[in-house]
Structure 1
């Protein structure tokens, strides 16, 4: 489920979503201008990457990147982590150029964002954009009648996570390659030089 669905809005969800999005665009254009957003799809992408609760769900076209996200910062509340694999067809993707609004898709689709932030490129980022109906009903993607047969659930036992993270680092997949900024460098150095 996308972040906005996992939170409790102070009012009707779709109304709050619009207010949140409009305020994100209005509040401080100087913070956003240098990313050169062209349309609401770009604004939604930026909001998602900076922590704005949106109807987007992150995916990666890179299996190693997906594995890194699944194993980073894992808690021991369960005995495994999960990686979801989806076999999406071309018809499963929306073309932002063909859609009037990020809020009006009649079905949940995928979309490839413009590379307006290096992080999107580094993570081989792609998104699911939930339809308003699926968002309001709280339908997780793996229970969506259309997508559920296109998804594979992979469980990774916790005992393998440290080895997987070490092997991913050897292959160049770590916090700094995923987040090529100071934040990512510092996170990678902490992982490298301190016990987990």
Structure 2
């Protein structure tokens, strides 16, 4: 994504430690039971991966082809088959398929890990942590879910489908409504009339990235905890530890 696609954070605050991040979140958040976080290496617009595929005229066509093909071909590789399109979208999203979902987490340390995951290699801007403080009405009701492609507005939801990495990441999702008048097919959350006032952001001081990565690791946040290994990898690790250790 080019630099022209960047957005400015909502304030000038910068954090340089986990303690400062948690203090910022506590001081900034609205009074709500629903608080979500998202970490990004750069202040990119809050848009789903599907928005980067093509212009608006073909986005729905491509979405349908991608999603239908994934569902058909993924069945043989899954131990547990999703029973609805919401859970299929979650599976597709977490295996790299462009969808209309955007990932969030209830854990600010997980968000920080994602913001810093590749920041050390690039180090070309301050990473950003977004915080959303939605109301209950901003969530899709579990017992009143229409298909995810026909929603009346962009909302949030949580899946009941069991995926280890989502459980580890305390994942939640925003599902975007398609907007004909938008050039990308979707309106960024920071411009969404229902959600923009629920959003806050803070920059992570790029000079503090190495220290914060070490701090996260000391707190138990690293790739193996964010992305729990599959069983074959677990068996390999155990074999190496016991037989070759």
Output the TM-score relative to the length of structure 1. Answer: 0.86
Relative to 1, partners in 2 of residues 1:58 and 1:44: Cα closer, same or farther, differing over 3 Å? same
* Whole-angstrom distance in 2 between the partners of 1:139 and 1:109: 12
CA contact (8 A) 1:115 1:121 kept: no
Aligned-partner SS, 1:30: helix
CA contact (8 A) 2:103 2:173 kept: yes
Alignment-derived partner of residue 57 in structure 1: 102
Alignment-derived partner of residue 221 in structure 2: 173
Deviations 1:130-185 (A, max 9, x none): 00128754421111122111111110111111111111111111111101116999
Paired residues, number: 183
CA contact (8 A) 2:153 2:176 kept: yes
Counterpart mapping for 1:23-172 below 5 A? 23-32=69-78, 34-74=79-119, 75-78=122-125, 80-133=126-179, 136-172=184-220
* Whole-angstrom distance in 2 between the partners of 1:166 and 1:12: 43
CA contact (8 A) 2:59 2:185 kept: no
* Whole-angstrom distance in 1 between the partners of 2:140 and 2:210: 37
- Once the two structures are overlaid, the 10-residue window that deviates more, 21-30 or 135-144, is 135-144
Return the index of the structure with the highest Cα Rg.
2
Larger % of helix: which? 1
Aligned-partner SS, 1:132: coil
* Whole-angstrom distance in 2 between the partners of 1:49 and 1:169: 23
Deviations 1:91-120 (A, max 9, x none): 111135412211000100000012421000
CA contact (8 A) 2:178 2:186 kept: no
Relative to 1, partners in 2 of residues 1:110 and 1:47: Cα closer, same or farther, differing over 3 Å? same
CA contact (8 A) 1:107 1:131 kept: yes
Q: 1:6 aligned to 2:52?
A: yes
Aligned-partner SS, 1:172: coil
CA contact (8 A) 1:41 1:96 kept: no
* Whole-angstrom distance in 2 between the partners of 1:142 and 1:10: 19
Unaligned runs of 5+ in 1: 186-196
Alignment-derived partner of residue 16 in structure 1: 62
* Whole-angstrom distance in 1 between the partners of 2:159 and 2:206: 32
